[in-house]
Structure 1
Amino acid sequence: MTGTATPTALSESVTGLGPFFALRIHPLGTEPGGPWQPMSHPLLEARVATVGERLAAAGGRPPGSVEPRVAASVAHLGLAARLISPALAAAVLHGKVLASGLTELRWQPVIGGPIPLSLPDSAVADSPAGPPERLAGELSTRLMDGPLRELAEAMGTFSVSRHILWGNTASALNGAATMIATSRPELAARTRTLTSLLLARPPLRGTATTAGGGAFRRRSCCLIYRAAPDRKGPLCGDCALAR
C-alpha cells in the first residue's frame, strides 16, 4: 500500500478492480468532457421513476405498479454501491480517503450496469498515518457522513426509512469488500478489517450482523421482493428476511 499515488494513478489502480470501481478524476471547478451531470434531486427523481418502470416491466406488471419507495430503495442501493466501491478500494490500496459532495461529483444516469462516475481531484485526500481505526474514522466522517448521508437524505424523501437506506449502504460496503477480496486475495485481510471497523461505527453500527463463519446479514430489507407480482419476489442473500 502506498499513500503517494497521484489522483490519476489512483483512478487507474482503482478502476483496474472492475466496472463497479471504475472512476474518473476531473480538476475541481471544471467539467469533464461528455454527457456528465451533477447528482441533482431532479435527476435522482427521474432515476427512481425509471428504475420503477424497469422493475415493473421485469415482473410483467403495468407501468406505475411498483411502489415509489421500492424503486427508490433499489435505486439507492445501486448508487451507494458506486460511491462506496472506489472509496473502499482507494483506502485499501493507497490509504487515501475518497469522498466528494454530491454537488461536486459528476455521473451519467444510465440504466443497466454500473453508472459512470467522475470525482473532482479535491475528493482525494491522504488519511493521517496510523492504525486502520484512524482510516476508518476518516472514511466514516468524510464518506459516510458526507455524500452517502446526502444520498440517503435525498432518497428518504420517497418515504424510504433511514433504517433501510443505511442497511443498503452496509450491504453495498460488504459487496465492495467481497469483490476486492475476490479480485485481489492478498488484500482480503486488510479489506475485511477496514470493512468491520466501518460497520462498527456510526452511521452503519447496528445495520448488520455476522452469523456463524462470518457471513454478512443485514438487519433490514431493500424491498426489491415487493416489485414482483403479488409482492412475492426472491430475497437477496444478505436480507434480514432470508432464512
Structure 2
Amino acid sequence: MSTLLHDDVLFARVNRVRRALATGLPDDAPSVELRVAASVTHLGLVARVIAPLVAREGFGAPAMSLLPEDLHWQDRLGGPYPLSIAIAEHGDDQWHDSLIGHLTETVATRLDVSRKVLEGNVASAANSAAQMIARASPNVARSAFSAADSILARPGVESGRAGAGYRRRSCCLIYRVSGDTAAVCGDCVLG
C-alpha cells in the first residue's frame, strides 16, 4: 500500500470514489466536491486497515505490521478491498509510521481535508469495527471495544469511548453529496 501514498495513485482513487458518489445524482446536480470524495476515500481505506487491528485484539492474534510496505492490497471499489497484512516483527503495531498516519497526513496536506475530519474518520472506523465484531462474536466484544478505545486514545485520533453510544465530534462530509443533513452516518455529530 506504500504506492497509495504517491499522489497519482491516491488522486486516481479519490477521483474514482468521486465518480461513484456522483452516480445517480441528477444531471443538474453540482459535482461531488473533491474534499468530500477525499474524506470518504480516507474513511474507507483506514476502516479496512483498522478492522483487522481491532479483531486481532479480540481474538488474540499476533501483532500486525501497519507499515505501508507490509500491507498489500488490490485497489477495488465497492466494499472491502482485498488486503494482506504481515505479522509485526517487533511484536507490536507500529502506529507512528503506520499507513493510517501517513495517509491521514497526505490527505490533509495534499487534498485539503481538515485534520479534525480525518481524525474523526479514524475514530469512527475503530468504533465501527468493534461494533461489528461485538455483534458477530459477543464473546470477544469486551476485547474489541478495548482495542477500539486504545485507538481512540492515540495522538492524531479523535478521542472518545467506543461503544453503541459513540458519537464523533466531526463529520466525514458524506451528507454534502446530497446536501441533506438527514443523510449522515449513524455516529455523525450532525445526526
Q: In which range does the TM-score fall when normalised by the shorter chain?
A: 0.7 to 0.9
Distance 1:54 1:63 in 2: 14
1:37-186 matches, cutoff 5 A: 38-41=3-6, 42-61=8-27, 65-94=31-60, 96-119=62-85, 121=86, 123-125=87-89, 127=91, 138-139=92-93, 142-143=94-95, 145-156=97-108, 157-186=110-139
1:21-32 matches, cutoff 5 A: none
Distance 1:218 1:145 in 2: 24
Q: How many Å apart are 1:54 and its aligned residue?
A: 0.9
Aligned partner letter, 1:92: G
Superposed CA deviations along residues 62-94 of structure 1, whole A, max 9, x for unmatched, are: 698111100000011000011101111122212
Per the alignment, do residues 195 and 104 of structure 1 end up closer, same or farther by CA in structure 2, a change over 3 Å counting? closer
Distance 1:201 1:49 in 2: 30
Aligned partner of 1:8 in structure 2 is: none
List alignment gaps of at least 5 residues for structure 1. Answer: 1-35, 128-137
Contact 1:52 1:68 in 2 (8 A): yes
Runs of 4+ in 1 over 4 A off after TM superposition: 61-64
Q: How many Å apart are 1:111 and its aligned residue?
A: 1.2
Per the alignment, do residues 59 and 143 of structure 1 end up closer, same or farther by CA in structure 2, a change over 3 Å counting? farther
Please report the TM-score for the alignment, with normalisation by the length of structure 1.
0.69
Per the alignment, do residues 165 and 61 of structure 1 end up closer, same or farther by CA in structure 2, a change over 3 Å counting? farther
Please report the TM-score for the alignment, with normalisation by the length of structure 2.
0.86
Aligned partner letter, 1:220: S
List alignment gaps of at least 5 residues for structure 2. Answer: none
Which structure is larger by alpha-carbon Rg, 1 or 2?
1
Aligned partner of 2:142 in structure 1 is: 189
Contact 1:87 1:99 in 2 (8 A): no
Distance 2:60 2:161 in 1: 28
Query: Pick from 164, 168, 177: which aligns with 1:218?
Result: 168
Per the alignment, do residues 63 and 117 of structure 1 end up closer, same or farther by CA in structure 2, a change over 3 Å counting? farther
Distance 1:38 1:110 in 2: 14
1:217-236 matches, cutoff 5 A: 217-228=167-178, 231-232=179-180, 234-236=183-185
Distance 1:61 1:126 in 2: 53
Distance 1:203 1:215 in 2: 22
